[in-house]
């Protein structure tokens, strides 16, 4: 289900990002903000920096030998991680693959105790998915990202259940 992404996968991650974002985000954020964020976060240089300098481990979600999405995670401290990206192609949503990918991600980090992420407050489908897999809202955040755009997000937290 998940395989580690490498530098050679950057063009594939970019292609997936453009397809997924343009299919999903209109109506949640403006077309101008979509274009700006894709250019800012998903250009080849930025993705390379995220993989190296920022310490993000990228994963490709696959089904039937085909890439259907991507995730990225970074370690903040022992047992504490941040989920930067969790995107599945819209054609594969609602089929349980997000839950499978989330469980597969947990398996990749045996020391994982806490996982945080940010998600747009208007992105109801994703917020509900995160609730379903055990996240709670930790706080609201309004983060300026340039050119007058603001990310109005929830920061959400998942904690590994006690055994």
Show pLDDT as tens, one digit a residue, over the chain (163 residues).
Answer: 999 999 999 999 999 999 999 999 999 999 999 999 999 999 999 999 999 999 999 999 999 899 999 999 999 999 999 999 999 998 888 889 999 999 999 999 999 999 999 999 999 999 999 999 999 999 999 999 999 999 999 999 999 998 7
- What is the β-pairing status of strands 80-88 and 114-120? parallel
Cβ contact 102:133 at 8 Å: yes
What number of CA atoms fall less than 13 Å from residue 142's CA on the CB side? 3
Q: Could you tell me the CA-to-CA distances from 46 to 40, 50, 63, 88, 116 in Å, in that order?
A: 7, 6, 27, 20, 21
With CA atoms as reference, report the closest residue to 88 among 75, 100, 97. 97
φ/ψ region of 147 (left if φ > 0, alpha if ψ in -120 to 50, else beta) reads left
CB atoms within 10 A of CB 62: 15
- What size, in residues, is the chain? 163
N-term to C-term CA, the chain: 25
Prediction pTM value: 0.96
CB atoms within 10 A of CB 35: 13
Q: Please, what are the domains in the chain?
A: 2-118 (3.40.630.30)
Residue with tokens 């990206």: 85
DSSP letter at 134 equals T
């Amino acid at each position: 289900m998940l395989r580690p992404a490498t530098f050679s996968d950057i063009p594939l991650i970019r292609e997936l990002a453009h397809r997924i974002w343009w299919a999903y985000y209109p109506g949640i954020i403006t077309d101008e903000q979509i274009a700006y964020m894709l250019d800012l976060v998903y250009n080849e240089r930025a993705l390379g920096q995220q993989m190296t300098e920022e310490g993000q481990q990228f994963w490709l979600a696959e089904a039937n030998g085909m890439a259907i999405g991507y995730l990225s995670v970074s370690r903040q401290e022992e047992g504490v991680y941040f989920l930067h990206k969790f995107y599945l192609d819209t054609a594969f949503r609602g089929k349980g693959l997000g839950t499978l990918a989330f469980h597969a991600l947990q398996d990749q980090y045996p020391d994982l105790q806490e996982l945080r992420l940010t998600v747009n407050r208007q992105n109801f489908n994703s917020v509900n998915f995160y609730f379903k897999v055990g996240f709670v809202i930790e706080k609201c955040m309004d983060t300026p990202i340039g050119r007058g755009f603001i990310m109005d997000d929830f920061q959400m937290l998942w904690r590994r259940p006690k055994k």
